[in-house]
Chain A
Amino acid sequence: MLMSQRSPHPSSALPSITRRRFARWLGLAPAVTLSSVPSIGAARPRVVIVGGGAGGASTARLLARDGGDRLDITLVEPSGTYTTCFQSNLYLGGYRTLGSLQHDYRRLATEHGVRVVQDRVTHIDRDRRLVALANGEADDGTRNSTLGYDRLVVAPGIELLHDSLPGHSAALAEIAPHAWQGAQQLALLKSRLDALGNGDHVIIVAPPNPYRCPPGPYERASMIARLFQRRGLTDSRITLLDTKTAYSKQALFEASWRRHYPGTIEWLPPDVHGGILSIDATRGMVETDLDTFQGQLLNLIPAQRAGAIAQDAALADASGFCPIDPGTMRSTLDPAISVLGDACIAGDMPKSAFAANSQARVVAANLLGELLDRPVPTARYGNICWSQIADDDSIKVGGGYASSGNRIASSSAFISERTDDASTREANVGEAQAWYRSITTEMFGGTS
């Protein structure tokens, strides 16, 4: 068969013929191998993936691996360099460089045959199954501002709701950084942290549920305390003003803080500070119902919802996130669209890169089933979140998940113990590093 003669690296072997046009040409040949695709037509089914994070890039790579020669896969992502939010706290703490968190999509294109379009999706036309691009450029140099799809995968991550903090705004994030997405914000927070002097006070405002990386604000406080320790800022303090009354791995964090950073981190829930009334980013002030806090650095992490394109395409419900079928990750509002990662409502699963990567397996398996008649296994999901607290102390929480009723529900769970011995905690540090290499390989290709 024609298709079996395909080079393993089509885009390098056939530099002047794009995968799509190659497919169109193939479509002219009689009785090619796509007859198993019901109702899609002669060309290879087109899968467009919006967003190149843990959910989108993993889906692209899995589809390319398991169905690459029979699918037309396009990944649309605005940035050429992706900076992982996961493990970015370790950069703040001095355990990683910014560069070590950054990845590009070259291998996805050259080694895995995914068409990577560096552009922003401005609109999704669900009726005509088209996505509109901000810039848009076709392979032959003509402007082509839309991409058609047979199946769309929406993985836009989160949008930050700066207004959820009274007195705060996107513009003021340049003064009081969130550092919850993007390299620029992360580098800004790091440079502000590195400029602090002894006795300076950092205030972290932690967001309400649900949000990306539930243990993240508390790992961040640990990393800042570590930075203080390393720089000899013995009189500097961190106040965590929370919008929640409890948080992930709380007892473990508190015990480790007492051990490594006694007196450095104070966590105040809303029933103690009384609720945040106003924020003056310029003066470093947070007024709560019971007190006024002032710091040399405010790290304001606002409430969140699914990325803007999911809102625009009406894929989100009143919660701000996107309802999905728990067995397939398909949007309950549009069967031609799958939503995964931080943007979806994943029941008991947290919003994490591990979770998004796990959901990508279910998305890919279901698309291969629908489009190429492959057998579809029952959906099973997994997650682990590691949080590093000190050089040799990392704690973890995780579990397995499955479709149950109309939601993704926990089927098993584990969490680090207060009584863990030192070697267990130290082993967690290495485990997290190994996981980082493995997931970034799954997202961007290469060898881990």
Chain B
Amino acid sequence: MAAPLAEPRVKVPERARIGEPFTIKTLLRHPMDSGHRIGEDDRLIPRLIINRFIATFENEFVFSAIIEPSIAANPYFEFTVRLERSGRFRFLWIEDGGASIAVERSIIVA
């Protein structure tokens, strides 16, 4: 049985200047079981990974990643964004089997 997904950690600045790049950092705690590891009961631990990460801003695509089993636990993404207006980011993580978790962050751009 899969445990509920952990609360993601996301760092977005509260404010940014128009047209000036800034950094977003995201991390989700997740074991990223590849399906090749042997558990304490000597059996293979079934594959269970976060396979997709998507960042959007006001429903516009910003960044996304297709994640494979060789990615280590606690997948971390850092990327740079440039905005012309204030609005809201949405960050979405999708696990094998379809479970997902999302968080939103607002930013003032002036």
Contact = CB atoms under 8 A, between A and B. Distances in A.
Interface of A: 271-274, 289-291, 418
B27 A272 contact: yes
Given A271-B74, A272-B74, A291 B29 contact: no
B40 interface: yes
Interface string B70-84: 000010100000000
B11 to A, nearest CB: 5
Contacts of A272: 9, 27, 29, 74
A290 B40 contact: no
A56 to B, nearest CB: 44
B10 A418 contact: no
Given A272-B27, A274-B27, A418-B40, A290 B74 contact: no
Contact of B11 (A271, A274, A418): A274
Contacts of B40: 418
Interface string B1-36: 000000001110000000000000111010000000
A272 B7 CA distance: 11
Contact of A289 (B25, B29, B74): B25
23 contacts: A271-B74, A271-B76, A272-B9, A272-B27, A272-B29, A272-B74, A273-B9, A274-B9, A274-B11, A274-B25, A274-B27, A289-B11, A289-B25, A290-B9, A290-B10, A290-B11, A290-B25, A290-B26, A290-B27, A291-B9, A291-B10, A291-B11, A418-B40
Task: Classify the interface of chain A: helix, strand, loop or mixed.
Answer: loop
Contacts of B76: 271
B: interface residue count bin: 10 to 19
B52 to A, nearest CB: 20
Task: Please provide the 4 A-B residue pairs with the shortest distance between their CB atoms, ordered closest to farther.
Answer: A290-B9, A291-B9, A290-B11, A290-B27
Contacts of B27: 272, 274, 290
A291 B40 CA distance: 33
Nearest to A290: B9
B26 to A, nearest CB: 8
Contacts of A290: 9-11, 25-27
A387 to B, nearest CB: 21
Contacts of A271: 74, 76
Given A274-B9, A290-B27, A291-B11, 18 more contacts: A271-B74, A271-B76, A272-B9, A272-B27, A272-B29, A272-B74, A273-B9, A274-B11, A274-B25, A289-B11, A289-B25, A290-B9, A290-B10, A290-B11, A290-B25, A290-B26, A291-B10, A418-B40
Contacts of B26: 290
B46 to A, nearest CB: 20
A435 B96 CA distance: 50
A161 to B, nearest CB: 27
B40 to A, nearest CB: 7
A418 B25 CA distance: 36
A289 B27 CA distance: 11
Contacts of B29: 272
Contacts of B11: 274, 289-291
A181 B103 CA distance: 41
A428 to B, nearest CB: 22
B100 to A, nearest CB: 20
A274 B26 CA distance: 10
A271 B9 CA distance: 11
Contacts of A289: 11, 25
Interface string B56-95: 0000000000000000001010000000000000000000
A274 B28 CA distance: 12
Contacts of B9: 272-274, 290-291
A274 B10 CA distance: 11
A418 B10 CA distance: 34
B93 to A, nearest CB: 14
Contacts of A274: 9, 11, 25, 27
A175 B104 CA distance: 33
B71 to A, nearest CB: 14
B97 to A, nearest CB: 22
